[in-house]
Amino acid sequence: MIELAFSILASDFAHLADEVAAAERGGGSIVHIDVMDGHFVPNITFGPPMVKAVRSITKLPLDCHLMIENPDAFIPDFAEAGADMVSVHQEVCRHLHRTLQLIEQHGMKPAVVINPATPVDTLIEILPMVHHVLVMSVNPGFGGQKFLPLALDKIGLLAEIREELGLNFRIEVDGGVAHDTVAQVVQAGADMLVAGSAVFSPGKTEHNARELLAAARAAAEIQD
């Protein structure tokens, strides 16, 4: 099933509850929260207090993407704040298996992220234990970047591996997902679509979410 994970990084923070509600009315079923520390990526965004605030305004699952240098130290805090899914970067985890176990031990669904320059092969050993793999289709740090087509090959390879190994992890893609890229992303094999700039726009958020999701699902039907 194709799902839209709307990224609140692109929303109007002064009206966050209204923005989240509008995206949900448009069919968005996951709230994507980009956590950046200014070290692993060149930006600073949200922490557990923001997750707690979002938890209080929606019942949708909270998908927390940790772009931080020491995720192990903060996993308990995100669990306490109400996160449902936590994804960590392969590039920053010295002991990736242990980190994913820690996420699961705190009652959250573990996921792993790879940057544009990181090969899919680095994930083979941990694929059986993740809820999803997040493929970055931009270099992380800022919203509104242009989609990098090399992500399509990674998505396709992950879909092949998933079938070959009989696994059921989901494939999420983040970065530049919009009306002009969503069809090829879905046809490559992605089923969790992170979108921010393509969704949030004053007075148009509900419409944008609905249109983007419709385009994604139409592409999936063509593929089938």
At residue 211's C-alpha, the angle toward residues 12 and 178, to 5°, is 70
Residue 133: CB atoms within 10 Å: 27
Spatial distance between the Cα atoms of 11 and 21, rounded to a whole number of angstroms: 11
* DSSP per-residue string spanning 37-103: BSSSSS-B---HHHHHHHHTT--SPEEEEEE-S-GGGTHHHHHHHT-SEEEEETTT-TTHHHHHHHH
The residues that are catalytic are 34, 174
In the block, residue with structure tokens 């929303």: 11
In degrees, rounded to 5, the angle at the alpha carbon of residue 82 between the alpha carbons of residues 193 and 176 is 20
Could you identify the residue written with the tokens 């970065």? Answer: 175
Query: What token pair was written down for 63?
Result: 């998908």
